[in-house]
Structure 1
Amino acid sequence: MRLHPHALRRTALGLAATGALLIGLATPSALAQAADPVLRDLAEAKGKYYGTAVTASKLTGTYADIAGSQFNSITPGNEMKWESVEPSRGTYNWSGADRIVDFAEAHDMEVRGHTLVWHSQLPGWLTNGSWTADQLRTLMTDHITAEAGRYKGRISHWDVVNEPFNEDGTFRQSLFHSKLGPSYIADALRAARAADPDAKLYLNDYNTDGLGAKSDGMYNLVKSLKAQGVPIDGVGFQGHLILGQVPSTMKANLQRFADLGVDVAVTELDIRMTLPATDAKLAQQKADYRAVTDACVAVSRCKGVTAWGFTDSDSWIPDVFEGQGAATPYDENYRPKPAYYGIAESLGWTGGGDPGPTGSCTVGYTVTSQWNTGFTANVTVKNTGSSPVGGWQVAWTYPSGQRVTSAWNATVTQSGAQVTAANAAYNGTIGAGGSVSFGFNGTWSGANTAPATFTCTTR
């Protein structure tokens, strides 16, 4: 769970006579309002795109609505990688990739193809094979021909070769480099050009965002490819960043590549933090997202920025970096975070920043029964404002390792000690002075200490 982005003043009201812990706090608008910015419109006005990576199976409901309305470029998170499209030799599965391309076209979006040649997420039949250099080169170029050819004319940019460098700027000893040497990169670019002459062809890597050894390696490669007449149109800078660590040289780095005569783009932006999220961390994240977008806006050949997932519910960070997350512009319940407004401000929005408080609510928490290693709890959300609210969310951190196992009358998610509960489809509306309740079962061991504070937000 990621705490709501517009973190709030927390005021403990003490224990009620029933033993329920009550926490009252001011609450902000939880979803983007009608007057809020549309990132794709702002980006287009700057001659850029603002994109997002997506998961094909999630392209429905609110997820699809936000992806299609806020962004004008889309990147398949996994659906175009080799193991996804050719899991066994000569047998193709295009369903996920087709769904994303179809969605993009239905919503007037560009598609960034990701990725044709990468050392990771390769099918077992390829990595376990005993190939000669000529055989591997043919397999690689045939794969590029099949995939780029299938989507000919429908992909605006291809990440042709992904992550070819080590941190020191030397070439990564991937399957392809180990067998073919660095010439595989030029071969891949030429094959992609032949398969789809109109697509822009990119190299893409991480930790190349600022000046340094790794970006120097990429710079020297691009310079060499250009000198050889190899078709290369752009360089992607992934932008998987840590809170407060946007490189100060990012703009200068993008510009030096542009000066080589290639386009540049930020292709996989997320900015992770150690959880839980706080006001200060979210404010820093807003500044960081704005700084990255500013760097792109300032470089004329920077074509755009792509967030690697727009919602924390579809982010790879918590699965890879333990205790970290909240890396995207929207929280797990599709509420825009301060980062969303930082992006908009960089793109020229002057709407005045995050929406301010619009209501208030209190939370009552009661353990209604407890046994050996289990318990049942009831939570009451009361609207203490003067107007009805149309939705609510409650968040808390368990101090004693408790785990929620099942819930009713709310959608409850848990990540580590942090828990988020959001209204069900039928009980989001609470009249002024009214309340709703939800419950859940959980487990405990050693102690079942009540949470010290709650975050309660409404919309």
Structure 2
Amino acid sequence: MRNRLMSVAAALLATCALAGVAALPARGADNPPLRDLANAQGRYYGTAVTASKLTGAYGDVAGTQFDSVTPGNEMKWGSVEPARGSFNWAGADQVVAFAAAHGQKVRGHTLVWHSQLPSWVSSGTWSAEQLRTLMTDHIATEVGRYQGRIDHWDVVNEPFNEDGTRRQSLFQTTLGDGYIADALRAARAADPAAKLYVNDYNTDGTGAKSDAMYRLVSSLRAQGVPIDGVGFQAHLILGQVPSTLQANLRRFADLGLDVALTELDIRMPLPATAAQLAQQKEEYRAVTAACVAVTRCRGVTVWGFTDADSWIPDVFPGQGAATPYDENLRPKPAYDGIVQALGGTVPVPTTSCAVTYTVPNQWTGGFTANVVVKNTGTTPVNGWTVGWSWPAGQRVTQAWSTTLTQSGSQVTAANASYNGSLPAGGSASFGFNATWTGTNTAPAAFTLNGAACAP
């Protein structure tokens, strides 16, 4: 018995070659930046940015990978005119200057929106004439300041409810349906060269809301109101990308309008698993490909390129991982999906791993085990699941630094929220308590993300 216990307590080391493991894409020399791939398709590929972060590695990725930038908040009314007649252009100017320095387009966002208004506007008591003058003066001031430097303006943002009725915003209730035409005319007067859009969310597929948008822009066109395009925000949920996305884009394009995906992200429950990230990769590919397939789809903008700068976790607790880059500015599988949709090639990821299984403490009927999984290859792995089978009936009773499940003799240990990334040479550890009867034979083999480890 003593010899058997000592042998169980010894380390079991299994080094394995993994095929098909969901991993972060390699930055190969054969992959040009997204902006170059998009340009070859006659499109742009952009990102929302935060002005204060446009330095260092964040600025390098934003400037190298993307050929269009959208200020996330810096051009909204509440940001540029927090007090009546008192303007703060610092953030917006910084984004525009960054774009000029990096040869990028700018998507102005947004001039007329029910949210993020300065309190002096939202809390005021205005007649229709007063509010219309405030709105058109604001548009003239902001659009005029950046005349010739903004390629696209989201002039009116989110005018509809989910059922296709008009959102009862301050502008709708005070000015009526005509406020959208008034806003577009004011923007055209301030910059005749800028492309003018109406932008909304949950209009990506066909349905009541997108039908209402279709009727609106058809009517505006018929009236001769200056409108150049429709923005589809594409704030999407993993597994719920509309199957009618491409057809929906095309029907708007058939009106003679440009279309664009303006705020793309695809959120998922946290912690992200390898399977979720693989699905997200395919969905980013499909959404980008839908734009490529529609001639008048001018481009795609992701709403923040890194999870470190995403709005999702603050608004949807427990969800996130919605962007193409992780919080450490490393490209995720979603990046590869975009590359593929834009006609680029993605190398098949290869890596290797080592799993060390030790039993430092054992007693009659129970034991403690520690497991270390190490990425011994050169390709980072984002999200891991270690699996094994026990031949002697062991049962896990408690685990730490992992989410561990057991079905019969099969055990699956998934990463915790804080240890899912395995850079090249990196490792993660977890442990558990378990019961045993008869013999406490160690697992004979392991898998990582479903791929068998060689003995």
Relative to the length of structure 2, the TM-score reads: 0.77
Q: 2:292 aligns with which of 289, 297, 317?
A: 297
Higher Cα radius of gyration: 2
In structure 1, the partner of 2:146 is 151
The alpha carbon displacement at 1:383 in A equals 6.7
RMSD: 3.6
Provide the C-alpha distance between the structure 2 equivalents of 1:82 and 1:437, rounded to a whole number of angstroms: 46
Change (3 A) 1:394 1:173: closer
CA deviations over 1:127-181 (Å, ceiling 9, x no partner) = 1111111111111111111111111000000000000001111110001001100
- Tell me whether 133-142 or 279-288 shows the greater mean CA deviation: 279-288
Query: 4+ residue runs of structure 1 moved beyond 4 angstroms?
Result: 14-18, 21-31, 361-365, 379-385, 389-396, 399-402, 420-423, 435-438, 448-456
1:265 is paired with a residue of what secondary structure?
strand
In structure 1, the partner of 2:350 is 357
**Residue identity matched to 1:110:** K
Structural mapping, 1:172-251, within 5 Å: 172-251=167-246
CA deviations over 1:108-129 (Å, ceiling 9, x no partner) = 1100000000000111111111
The alpha carbon displacement at 1:226 in A equals 0.7
Provide the C-alpha distance between the structure 1 equivalents of 2:433 and 2:90, rounded to a whole number of angstroms: 45
Provide the C-alpha distance between the structure 1 equivalents of 2:64 and 2:356, rounded to a whole number of angstroms: 34
Q: 1:329 aligns with which of 324, 327, 333?
A: 324
In structure 1, the partner of 2:417 is 418
Provide the C-alpha distance between the structure 2 equivalents of 1:223 and 1:436, rounded to a whole number of angstroms: 57
Provide the C-alpha distance between the structure 2 equivalents of 1:342 and 1:138, rounded to a whole number of angstroms: 46
The alpha carbon displacement at 1:192 in A equals 0.4
Q: Kindly tell me the number of residue pairs found equivalent between the two proteins.
A: 397
Change (3 A) 1:361 1:280: same
Provide the C-alpha distance between the structure 2 equivalents of 1:59 and 1:450, rounded to a whole number of angstroms: 43
**Residue identity matched to 1:96:** G
Structural mapping, 1:34-433, within 5 Å: 34-349=29-344, 351=345, 353=346, 355-360=348-353, 384=376, 418-420=417-419
| Residue ranges of structure 1 left out of the alignment (5+ in a row) | 1-13, 366-378, 403-415, 439-447
The alpha carbon displacement at 1:286 in A equals 1.4
Change (3 A) 1:178 1:436: closer
Q: Does 1:33 align with 2:28?
A: yes
Q: Does the 8 Å CA contact 2:156/2:199 hold for their aligned counterparts? A: yes
The alpha carbon displacement at 1:394 in A equals 9.2
Provide the C-alpha distance between the structure 1 equivalents of 2:210 and 2:333, rounded to a whole number of angstroms: 30
Provide the C-alpha distance between the structure 2 equivalents of 1:341 and 1:290, rounded to a whole number of angstroms: 8
- Tell me whether 260-269 or 242-251 shows the greater mean CA deviation: 242-251
Change (3 A) 1:354 1:331: farther
The alpha carbon displacement at 1:58 in A equals 1.1
1:419 is paired with a residue of what secondary structure?
coil
1:418 is paired with a residue of what secondary structure?
coil
Q: Does the 8 Å CA contact 1:78/1:84 hold for their aligned counterparts? A: yes
In structure 2, the partner of 1:444 is none
Change (3 A) 1:245 1:391: closer
Relative to the length of structure 1, the TM-score reads: 0.77
The alpha carbon displacement at 1:319 in A equals 1.0
Q: Does the 8 Å CA contact 1:74/1:112 hold for their aligned counterparts? A: yes
**Residue identity matched to 1:126:** V
Provide the C-alpha distance between the structure 2 equivalents of 1:236 and 1:90, rounded to a whole number of angstroms: 30
Provide the C-alpha distance between the structure 2 equivalents of 1:128 and 1:197, rounded to a whole number of angstroms: 32
| Residue ranges of structure 2 left out of the alignment (5+ in a row) | 1-6, 359-370, 386-397, 402-414, 435-445, 450-455
Q: Does the 8 Å CA contact 2:198/2:231 hold for their aligned counterparts? A: yes
**Residue identity matched to 1:125:** W
- Tell me whether 200-209 or 133-142 shows the greater mean CA deviation: 133-142
Provide the C-alpha distance between the structure 2 equivalents of 1:390 and 1:354, rounded to a whole number of angstroms: 11
Change (3 A) 1:215 1:233: same
